[in-house]
Amino acid sequence: MIWDSLRKGLAAKLPERTFQDWIAPCQATNFDGSTLWIQTPSASARVWIEQQLAEEFHDALFQCGLPHLRLAFTISGDSPEATIPKPSGKGKASSVSEPANLDSPFPQGFHRYTLDRFVVGPGSQLAFAAANAVVENYGKHSSTLNMNPLFIYGGSGLGKTHLMIGIGKGLLSKNPKLKVSYLKVDNFFNEFTVAIKIKNTEALRKKYQQNDLLLLDDVQTLGRMERTQEEIFYILEYLLQYGKTIIITSDKPPEKLEGLHDRLRTRCKWGLTADIQPPDFETRVAILKKKLEDDVFKDLPTVPDDVLSFIAHKAKGSVRDLEGLLTRIVFQSSFLGVSPSLEVAQLAFQGQSGQEASSGISLERICRMTAETFNVAYMDLMKKKSRQQSILLPRQVAMYLARELTDVSFNDIGRTFNDMHHSTVMNAIESIKKRMQKDQDFHKQVNSLLNSIS
């Protein structure tokens, strides 16, 4: 049965807790030859699956040899007539999700990935500017900067695929006749393996060489695939030779991709390389507010600023973590029949992470790790009255990190640092933010320290 195969694929990809919470309660209710109808236990489960697990469902479909199968999600308790989807009015949530458009080259569930919905922060400015430039300069020969291929790298869930799909949609809106393919390396490996068995690799190569735009996702897995690397190289070489556009994503820059052949590494570095860093606190809040503009949230109670701040403090790892916690809080509030609050947020956080919401990071740990990173004595960082840059800068960084990683007030941070006035703390934090915006190396250093502490 198709649903059993999909479940097995999802179970292999997802953490056990995620699978048990969201996939295990679902069941297939109907299949008409092109669309599989899947019943979810609640509206919140359906939203979570559609928005948080789109990539995982895409991969599972591909691995089952069903990349064009459409999925439609319903809510438990729907009447039999609800298995036929009907368009929902703007701002109203339908009990049935629309099945995917078969003509779209993009995976199901990626409809939200557009450039205008990408929230730009200090750590994503270059990648976003490059993505827009690819769209704006397509077909122009006057551009002096070679951005082909555009290689975007960064940690999981930071928006690489969002930008990639956004470029594709932007180009298609300008020229609907463009041939576009979205291709994950692992899925190409599966296709290539089948092609080898049936001795038809040439047809597979030509399938991707005929594109005007190739979106090649997750190339970090190529290092363990010798023959797949060779095939990818020939595809990229052909597309570049004929001036076709290539967008590549990875979790590492080209020079750090282990096992990658030198000639393929060279092709990846041929154009522009841009990284995406984890969003800072202000950007995380902006992402949450943008997320709340989705139709599914419009008829639900307003999420107060203190709850958004809580989410931004707790979910620092990725945009996906942010959006997932927000979705859980909003629908948990709806299920309980109460407005979103810090109490509900703490319960949702504990349910999602298994951690107590109060189990935070101490100021002492932040300060000791900052002192160690900047090679200054801990007591000098905390108590020494000095305007020397060697002391002043790490102290300001520690204050910034304290504000990012804890819920401690400006007054409490000031008291920690030899009873400084809260306005001094605020100015120090603002100084660090401005420097991070202007100096990418400093931005990376501070974010690396932040990730180490958290």
Percentage, residues of the chain above pLDDT 90: 34
Report the pLDDT value the prediction gives residue 395, as an integer from 0 to 100.
Answer: 92
Provide the whole-model pTM.
0.73
Least trusted range by pLDDT, from 11-25, 92-106, 340-354: 92-106
Residue 143 has pLDDT above 70, yes or no: no
Q: Rounded distance, CA 148 to CA 365, Å?
A: 44
Instruction: Tell me: pLDDT of 180 over 90.
Output: yes
- Looking at per-residue pLDDT, the higher value among 300 and 367 belongs to 367
Specify the higher pLDDT residue, 46 or 451: 46
Percent of the chain that is helix, strand, coil (3-state, to 5): 55, 10, 35
Q: Which residues contact 407 (CB under 8 A, 6 or more apart)?
A: 309, 310, 313, 360
- Taking the C-alpha atoms of residue 394 and residue 305, their distance in angstroms, rounded to an integer, is 30
What's residue 94's pLDDT?
Answer: 45
pLDDT tens per residue, range 381-396: 887 776 788 889 999 9
Contact 410, 399 (CB under 8 A): no
- The CA distance from 302 to 177, in Å, is 42
The two tokens of residue 261 are 């052949």
Q: How is residue 249 written in tokens?
A: 């994503």
Round the CA-based radius of gyration of the chain to a whole number and report it: 24
- Token code pair at residue 158: 């930071």
For 2, 73, 104, the CA distances from 84, given in Å and listed in that order, are 19, 11, 21
Q: Decide if 281-353 and 363-453 have a common fold.
A: no
Choices 3.30.465.10, 3.40.50.1100, 3.20.20.120, 1.10.8.60: CATH for 281-353: 1.10.8.60
Average pLDDT over residues 306-328: 84
Q: What fold characterizes domain 115-276?
A: Rossmann fold (3.40.50)
Q: Packing angle between helix 185-197 and helix 54-63, nearest 10 degrees? A: 10
Burial class of residue 315 (count of CB atoms within 10 Å of its CB; 0-12, 13-18, 19+): buried
Q: What architecture is the 363-453 domain classified under in CATH?
A: Orthogonal Bundle (1.10)
More confident residue, 82 or 414: 414
Does residue 86 carry a pLDDT above 80? no
**For the chain, how many helices (H) and strands (E)?**
20, 8
pLDDT exceeds 60 at position 11: yes
- pLDDT in the model for residue 102: 54
pLDDT band at 87 (very low <50, low <70, confident <90, very high): very low
Question: Nearest to residue 40, comparing CAs of 97, 98, 101, 108?
Answer: 97
**Residue ranges covered by each domain of the chain:** 2-83, 115-276, 281-353, 363-453
Q: Are strands 245-250 and 150-154 parallel, antiparallel or unpaired?
A: parallel
Q: Which CATH superfamily is domain 2-83 in?
A: DnaA, N-terminal domain (3.30.300.180)
Q: What is the arithmetic mean of pLDDT over 232-253?
A: 93
In this predicted model, which residue has the larger pLDDT, 347 or 79? 347
**What's the one-letter identity of residue 294?**
D
Per the model's pLDDT, the better-predicted residue between 267 and 408 turns out to be 267
